[in-house]
Copies of this chain bind each other. A is one copy, B any other.
Amino acid sequence: MSQGPKKTIPEKNMILSATEGGPMEGILTQWRRERPDIDPTPMAVCGEIWRAGEKLRQGVLSNISNYNLDFAGMDVLFTLRRQGEGETLSPSLLAKDMMLSTSAMTNRLDRLEKRGLVKRMMDPNDRRGQMVALTDEGFDLANEMVVSHVQTEEKMLSNLSSDERQHLRFLLEKIE
């Protein structure tokens, strides 16, 4: 209440809370004791990114499981939905878009097709190729699901102001 100038306190708190108290700090302490020759902060940064990603993934998954879907299925439905109504993508493009093997995509599409959410159509210009589209049911489901999906994400990000979110993206994009 009487020590430093008030001006510096917010900044100080910011820095402190990024290095204290977090679940990462114990790990860093261990490494510093075992390998004082190594600066472990890169591990902390990467670890926080993975931890945050995992937390977000859990939250998103818990929402979409209300629709009897998993992350994989949601990914396909949303990718197709945001192309626009009636638009199609080939299995190869879908796989590339999601950084997935084409065989994994075959499997995902099989499951979604069995549930009636997507349909495969022959590509009229290339008999090797297929055109994958949402069914009406898939389109409606994606339309409904995206609302609660974004709400779920919004809730998990609610401690971040708009500026902070932008800054977070800015920093993440600098990762090589």
Q: Which residue numbers of A lie inside 8 Å of B, CB to CB?
A: 14-15, 17-19, 22, 24, 27, 30-31, 33-35, 38-46, 48-57, 60, 81-85, 99, 143, 146-147, 149-150, 153-160, 162, 164-176
Contacts of A54 in B (CB 8 A): 99
Contact across chains for B150 and A43 when beta carbons are under 8 A apart: yes
| Cβ-defined contact, A82 with B27, below 8 A | yes
Top 8 A-B pairs, shortest CB-CB distance = A18-B170, A42-B153, A30-B82, A159-B174, A53-B53, A18-B169, A52-B172, A48-B172
CB distance from A136 to the nearest CB of B (A): 16
- Contact in complex: A173, B99 (CB < 8 Å): no
Contact of A175 among B34, B50, B156, B172 (CB under 8 A): B156
Number of copies: 2
Q: Chain B residues with Cβ under 8 A from A150's Cβ?
A: 38-40, 42-43
Q: A33-B84, A34-B82, A82-B27 are in contact. Are A18 and B173 (CB under 8 A)?
A: yes
Contact B99 A49 (CB under 8 A): no
Q: How far is the CA of A176 from the CA of B164 in the complex (A)?
A: 14
Chain B residues closer than 8 Å to A41, beta-carbon distance:
162, 165
State whether A60 touches B46 (Cβ < 8 A): yes
> Known: A174-B160, A175-B156, A176-B156. Is A168-B48 also a contact (CB below 8 A)?
yes
Are B49 and A166 closer than 8 Å at their CB atoms?
no
Closest B residue to A23 using CB positions:
B173
Q: Which residue in chain B gives the minimum CB-CB distance to A164?
A: B171
**13 further contact pairs, Cβ within 8 A, besides A18-B169, A43-B153, A56-B175:** A14-B170, A22-B169, A22-B173, A30-B84, A31-B82, A42-B157, A45-B169, A48-B169, A49-B49, A52-B175, A156-B175, A159-B175, A160-B175
